[in-house]
A and B are shown apart, each in its own frame.
Chain A
Amino acid sequence: MLASLLLDTVHPILKSGADSVHMHMPWWLAGFLIDGVYLAVAWVIAVMLPPMAIFFPMFTLLEDFGYLPRVAFNLDSLFNKSGAHGKQALTMSMGFGCNAAGVVATRIIDSPRERLIAIITNNFSLCNGRWPTQILIATIFIGAVVPDSLSSFASLLAVIGVAVLGLAFMFGVSWALSKTVLKGEVSTFNLELPPYRPPRFWKTIYTSLIDRTVIVLWRAIVFAAPAGAVIWLISNVHMGDETIAAWLINGMDGFGFLLGLNGVILLAYIVAIPANEIVIPTILMLTVMVTGIGGGAGAGVMFELDSINATGDILRAGGWTLLTAINLMLFSLLHNPCSTTIYTIYKETNSVKWTVVASIMPVILGFVVTFLVAQIWRLFL
């Protein structure tokens, strides 16, 4: 509802307003501001706000109720085995909503070492911006390989599989970190279990909306706006006879092929560092632009189609196979955190070193995993 309002109603109005006789806005300014900046911001709000407005208050209610510390209590011995803190179970679940919020939530961990582990591995929780990508790609490609009656079940299983894989990476990386680089940090553990009590409902809703939803959303908007501008610019500014986007895509195609992906996906992930939500619209826009097939709304204008089949057709025309889809799902799990999260990590750790580690390490993991999957796939299938 929010999406259709912002993307399908307001956007055309703004566009036609800019074209109207009174405004005389040159095409490039209208494109830059409305197709670029506005659309990116609108997209982020449309994808992010509804789940966050539901997820965060629910989570805060559980917290207030006294339930969450008991989750940490029960799961601690699992986390202890990988050198982490039981409370990481909570920050990790928070990460399923938004990694930036998850990173902020690590403040509840009082031991410096375990807190750093929780911050660095938070990115392995699939966040709000990445769930739709997973679901969409799984529906189009994974669902297509099994009989129709099973297709929704298969794609559901694939998405859950990716999320569980994320958990496995979270435990594995926690373990590796605590055995190597974080060996010397002080580690303490104690956990207070507050008594169960009825939550203060309205106060909780209010604070969770203000503290979490609005702050996270605001940061996302601040970072999404320039991303929209960049996306519009690279697909409209020409260098020689090609757009910048086309140059970049051609340049990265070789590397993308090695990873079982392609240049379009890599470029989309670079320009979408500020917000995972705009990855799919950017991929669609770039694919249409590069392949020159019909559809879409013009260079630099991100779009998504109502029909899943039509989206699948565009992607297949862009050269996508089942391997591309699987690796995209893996890469969506294992890539750098969005810039909001990176900035939050910097604010929380106050250390450039750990921010760099937390940002680079998942991408390297992503490269290695997708690379291995691609080679083995091509060898045996």
Chain B
Amino acid sequence: MENYSPLLALSIFFIVVALLYVLFRPTKGWFWIIRKAFESSEKVIIEDVLKQLYHFETSNNRVDMKTLVQILDFKNTDIVEAVKKMTINDLIYSESDVLKLTEEGRDYALRIVRVHRLWERYLADKTGIHKKEWHDRAESMEHRLSHDEADELAEHLGHPKFDPHGDPIPTKTGKMASVHGVELPLLPVGSIGKITHIEDEPEVIYKQILAEHIYMGSLLKVIENNSTRIVFESEGEEFKLAPIVAANLTVALIEKEVVLEDNITRLSSLEENETAKIIGISKENRGDSRRRLLDLGFVKGSNVSIDLLNPLGNPNAYLIKGTSIALRKDQASKILIKKD
């Protein structure tokens, strides 16, 4: 106590806080970096290489050592080492410069993809983790789940065919459903389609799509399509996207002569003194929250109107089946209605 001075005490305190921050700050803290370094074993590198090769193969692109090293976030020497080992173990082979998967390697890659997509499905359906984080979490989980655990998970989820972005999940034997549709920028003006896939890579573009509130399974109609922008109408709202962003949306054309009903909109756009009938709940609303909405009476054919507007704008109370239920805007935007 003799040496006490408030300045000294404060500086010791701030040094300790700074130290804790450097060690434990989210994702970039030393503690996490060191832990990650321990986890990124050879197995992880091999599996990531296989996955990349698989993705390049399905999009008909060629990979050589140089691109591989650029894409993967590991030490170059480690990657070279891993590729050597994989060649010895007959997982990959090289034709001149180009790296290719063997039959065995493809099976292995499919297993990794299966775990990745199953885990995304799990995160979407059974947890409250935000969409933005699914990919990164699945990215680390795919190396940890064993084959049997993946099967168990698939059973628990009811053997889903698609992950929440619309990518097909390989079955145990490696079979995959195919995604119908083409990239949005390829559609002519006036065509009507349904969003069947939202690509989650690269992250920057995916985040833009999320911010626009574009949902899987929504019907859309292309209004304008040129080299600078693509405009489409969906669920009573108009969306404008740059072609590079729109290319991440896959849309299945609706062949039959369905007329896109003009007045299908989202519940969030309902005004005071209007009444509407509920058409359904968007696929984006999953799990417990979906079940709860159905329990409360948000089912097809129910009449709905606004009961109370919130002075702060959110949530609003909707009158449904004689009860007043308050919903936040992002929930209401996932309920489709047809105004009377």
CB of B324 within 8 Å of the partner chain: yes
Is B327 touching A80 in the complex (CB atoms < 8 A)? no
Q: Of B9, B126, B313, B326, which contacts A191 at CB under 8 A?
A: B326
CB of B288 within 8 Å of the partner chain: yes
What does the 1/0 interface line of A187-209 toward B look like (CB < 8 Å)?
11111111100000000000000
Q: Of B7, B289, B326, which contacts A188 at CB under 8 A?
A: B289
Task: Give A112's nearest chain B residue, CB to CB.
Answer: B128
A375 to B6, CA, bound (A): 5
Q: A76-B315, A76-B328, A379-B6 are in contact. Are A187 and B128 (CB under 8 A)?
A: yes
A2 to B7, CA, bound (A): 49
Task: Give A253's nearest chain B residue, CB to CB.
Answer: B1
Note all chain B residues with C-beta closer than 8 A to A113.
Answer: 128
Note all chain B residues with C-beta closer than 8 A to A185.
Answer: 127-128
Would you give the shortest CB distance from A353 to chain B, in whole angstroms?
18
For B, the interface residue count at a CB cutoff of 8 angstroms equals: 36
A75 to B314, CA, bound (A): 9
Would you give the shortest CB distance from B232 to chain A, in whole angstroms?
29
Is B7 touching A379 in the complex (CB atoms < 8 A)? yes
Which of B223-231, B253-261, B303-311 interfaces with chain A?
A: B303-311
Q: Of A73, A258, A371, which contacts B317 at CB under 8 A?
A: A73
CB of A293 within 8 Å of the partner chain: no
Is A192 touching B315 in the complex (CB atoms < 8 A)? no
Q: Of A75, A77, A194, A375, which contacts B9 at CB under 8 A?
A: A375
Task: Give A75's nearest chain B residue, CB to CB.
Answer: B312
Note all chain B residues with C-beta closer than 8 A to A375.
Answer: 6-7, 9-10, 13
Is B325 touching A80 in the complex (CB atoms < 8 A)? no
Within 8 A of B (CB), among A347-381: 371-372, 374-376, 378-379
Task: Give A380's nearest chain B residue, CB to CB.
Answer: B6
Q: A73-B310, A74-B310, A184-B129 are in contact. Are A80 and B324 (CB under 8 A)?
A: no
CB of A307 within 8 Å of the partner chain: no
Task: Give B128's nearest chain A residue, CB to CB.
Answer: A186
Is A254 touching B314 in the complex (CB atoms < 8 A)? no
Task: Give B1's nearest chain A residue, CB to CB.
Answer: A254
Q: Of A74, A75, A189, which contacts B328 at CB under 8 A?
A: A189
Note all chain B residues with C-beta closer than 8 A to A78.
Answer: 312
Q: A77-B315, A78-B312 are in contact. Are A192 and B323 (CB under 8 A)?
A: yes
Is B26 touching A191 in the complex (CB atoms < 8 A)? no
Note all chain B residues with C-beta closer than 8 A to A258.
Answer: 9
A232 to B60, CA, bound (A): 82
A281 to B4, CA, bound (A): 31
Is B6 touching A193 in the complex (CB atoms < 8 A)? no
CB of B190 within 8 Å of the partner chain: no
What does the 1/0 interface line of A168-194 toward B look like (CB < 8 Å)?
000000000000100111111111111
CB of A218 within 8 Å of the partner chain: no
Q: Of B7, B128, B292, B308, which contacts A190 at CB under 8 A?
A: B292
Is B307 touching A193 in the complex (CB atoms < 8 A)? yes
Would you give the shortest CB distance from B324 to chain A, in whole angstroms?
4
Within 8 A of A (CB), among B284-340: 287-289, 292-293, 296, 307-308, 310-315, 317, 323-328, 331
Is A80 touching B292 in the complex (CB atoms < 8 A)? no
CB of A64 within 8 Å of the partner chain: no
A192 to B289, CA, bound (A): 14
A183 to B292, CA, bound (A): 21
Would you give the shortest CB distance from A366 to chain B, in whole angstroms?
15
A191 to B317, CA, bound (A): 8
A359 to B7, CA, bound (A): 30
CB of A28 within 8 Å of the partner chain: no
Is B308 touching A193 in the complex (CB atoms < 8 A)? yes
CB of A343 within 8 Å of the partner chain: no
CB of A110 within 8 Å of the partner chain: yes
Task: Give B130's nearest chain A residue, CB to CB.
Answer: A183
A180 to B307, CA, bound (A): 36
Is B310 touching A77 in the complex (CB atoms < 8 A)? yes
CB of A257 within 8 Å of the partner chain: yes
Q: A73-B326, A375-B10, A379-B7 are in contact. Are A191 and B315 (CB under 8 A)?
A: yes
A267 to B92, CA, bound (A): 69
Within 8 A of B (CB), among A84-110: 86, 110
Note all chain A residues with C-beta closer than 8 A to B26.
Answer: 180
A295 to B135, CA, bound (A): 68
Within 8 A of A (CB), among B97-139: 126-130, 133
What does the 1/0 interface line of A280-300 toward B look like (CB < 8 Å)?
000000000000000000000
A30 to B268, CA, bound (A): 70
Would you give the shortest CB distance from A324 to chain B, in whole angstroms?
15
A57 to B130, CA, bound (A): 40
Note all chain A residues with C-beta closer than 8 A to B13.
Answer: 371-372, 375
A192 to B293, CA, bound (A): 12
A378 to B327, CA, bound (A): 50
8 further A-B pairs in the complex, CB-CB below 8 A; given A183-B133, A186-B126, A187-B128: A76-B312, A186-B128, A188-B292, A189-B327, A190-B292, A190-B326, A190-B327, A193-B307
Give 15 CB contacts A-B under 8 Å.
A73-B310, A73-B317, A76-B310, A76-B314, A77-B310, A77-B315, A80-B328, A110-B292, A180-B26, A183-B130, A190-B292, A191-B315, A192-B324, A371-B9, A376-B6
